[in-house]
Amino acid sequence: MTSPDANLFSALRAGFPADLDTVAIATADATPLHYSWRDLERGTAMLANLLDSLALPAGSRVAVQTEKSVEALMLYLAVLRAGLVYLPLNTAYQRDEVAYFIGNAEPAVVVCTRRSFGWVSRLAFAAGCTHVFTLDDDRSGSLLQRAAVHSDRHAPARRAAGDLAAILYTSGTTGRSKGAMLTHGNLLSNARVLKAYWGWRPGDVLIHVLPIFHVHGLFVASHGALLNGSRMLWFNRFDPRAVIARLPEATVFMGVPTLYVRLLGEATLTRAACAQMRLFVSGSAPLLIETFDRFRERTGHTILERYGMSETVMLTSNPYEASAGERRGGTVGFALPGVGVRVRDDAGAPCPTGAIGNLQVRGPNVFQGYWRLPEKTAEEFSADGWFRTGDVGRIDAQGYVSIVGRSKDLIISGGFNVYPAEVEASLNELPGVAESAVIGVPHPDFGEAVVAVVVARPAGAPDAAALVAELKLRIANFKVPKCVFVVDALPRNMMGKVQKNLLREQHRDLFA
């Protein structure tokens, strides 16, 4: 007996509305383009036929480093449709990084911009890849030219739930980036859970502003809209003012915390502007309580914060329905249906309710392992099959999960454990502090010393000595930073994550 088809593309397509001539995606450009569901159907068929015509071996990777565009989204869908493995690359990656990914993943097809074709194709050919196409965000490039001669009908490849759909290289704020292998089943189970949990409904319109090389924009946002047959208002780039102007046409917005801060920076963000909206989702990095509160005061909407990672797609979410509980700022909500989340100490023993420990997870969403790293993969799973997220957190008696930090960010100073997030929370409450990042740097006596990097509020920079004095009244002495630096901004990657590795590097020799 053959197993039922579990191709993610086919499942997403089943969510398209009956009338394929309605608008699926409208771009937010000055001269907007309107893509119907039929355009998506035909465009992905032509691209899938092009991929089929290359007669690639099963499991071939298609690596893509292009600017965001609707065509790039179609390429992702076409790779699923053809049963190949999609490998998106952050547009910020430079030559050495791309060389590493291409060498590591050995893609059969590489798609890049016309500008980068020279050096990318040399890297690809050197790694044995013979198919390099170009795609720019103005619909130019060889990919679409080549696809145009192919049929607009295509029978999606049959795939089992356990077949690979995508490899996402982790964003690498610590250590070298690893390829997380996600299956059709991982992605579809998560998309279905989120559709129900976040109450996707007919008439929803999603404002899509996130990059599509990352789990948040590619999977959470796009799958949500496609599976629900919902229109997307498509921004290739985030422009807070332009987004606010379009809120009255939309119902759902998904962003990373920095995007919310930028929206709040616009006077046009008002209750009236958000009157049609039903859901604002935040994730990928911690949302400051202050942003959460200010957004609620300004718009009347309570941001729903969720937590996930490349290896697992979404794990927890604050409730959508009020009957399931309040959306609690500073927490990432409850484990999603079907997902297990538990807290273990460093020896692997269960932690008491509310105690801080290592977050471990399991569920149909959890990835198959790191690409070509079986030993690293085995290390990251417990003996009873739970994935060690590397995040440190706690679960309270009601089931709300809070993230306290990354285990690799944990500072051990003079033998005491210091959780950066706790020190950051105390610092952020002090006058003059907009936000902060706390790191550990080598210290001859303490092993590591706690150091804080603080962003001042526009009203005036705080005095570092005064901050230290105030902290001494609030938290244990071993947690108080030995040094406080006041800066204009923290280094962040494109998903809004603070790059603590850069800060650690910068201050490495402070106590040498």
Residues 6+ away with beta carbon under 8 Å from 75: 47, 62, 64, 66, 111, 135, 143
Smallest distance, ligand AMP to C-beta of residue 109, A:
24
Residue closer to ligand AMP by CB (options 206, 495) is: 495
The nearest distance, CB 496 to ligand AMP, in angstroms, is 10
CB of 389 to ligand AMP, least distance (A): 6
C-alpha–C-alpha distance, residues 404 and 479, integer Å: 14
**Closest distance between ligand AMP and the C-beta of residue 401, in Å?**
10
Contact status, residue 62 vs residue 142, Cβ threshold 8 Å: no
CA dist 28 and 50 (Å) reads 29
| Choice between 61 and 214, CB closer to ligand AMP | 214
- 211 versus 283: smaller Cβ distance to ligand AMP: 283
How many other CB atoms are found less than 10 A from the CB of residue 374?
A: 10
* 188 Cβ neighbours under 8 A, 6+ residues apart: 6, 8, 11, 161
Q: How far apart are CA 487 and CA 507, in angstroms?
A: 13
- Shortest CB 359 distance to ligand AMP, Å: 8
Of 285 and 449, CB closest to ligand AMP: 285
Q: Please state the closest distance from residue 392 (CB atom) to ligand AMP, in A.
A: 9
Shorter beta-carbon distance to ligand AMP: residue 171 or 426: 171
- Which CB atom, from 269 or from 495, has the smaller least distance to ligand AMP? 495
49 or 310: whose CB is closer to ligand AMP?
310
Instruction: Provide CB contacts within 8 A for 20, sequence distance 6+.
Output: 36, 37, 38, 41
Strand runs labelled E in 66-186 = 85-88, 109-112, 131-134, 164-169, 179-183
What is the Cβ-side half-sphere exposure of residue 165, based on CA atoms within 13 angstroms?
Answer: 30
Closer of 155 and 289 to ligand AMP (Cβ): 289
Q: Are strands 447-456 and 483-487 parallel, antiparallel or unpaired?
A: parallel
Torsion of CA 303, 306, 307, 310, to 10 degrees: -100
Contact 135, 113 (CB under 8 A): yes
Provide, rounded to whole angstroms, the least separation between the CB of residue 414 and ligand AMP.
Answer: 26
Comparison of 13 and 394: residue with beta carbon closer to ligand AMP = 394
Q: How many residues does the chain have?
A: 512
Least separation in angstroms between CB 501 and ligand AMP: 13
Q: Are strands 179-183 and 369-370 parallel, antiparallel or unpaired?
A: antiparallel
Interface contacts to ligand AMP, rule CB under 6 A: 170-171, 215, 283-286, 305, 307-310, 332, 389, 391, 403, 406, 495
Concatenated DSSP letters of 74-86: HHHHHHHHTT-EE
CA dist 80 and 172 (Å) reads 25
State how far the Cα of 191 lies from the Cα of 197, in Å rounded to an integer.
10
CB of 141 to ligand AMP, least distance (A): 28
> In the complex with ligand AMP, which residue's Cβ is closer, 52 or 305?
305
**Min CB(163)–ligand AMP separation in Å:** 22
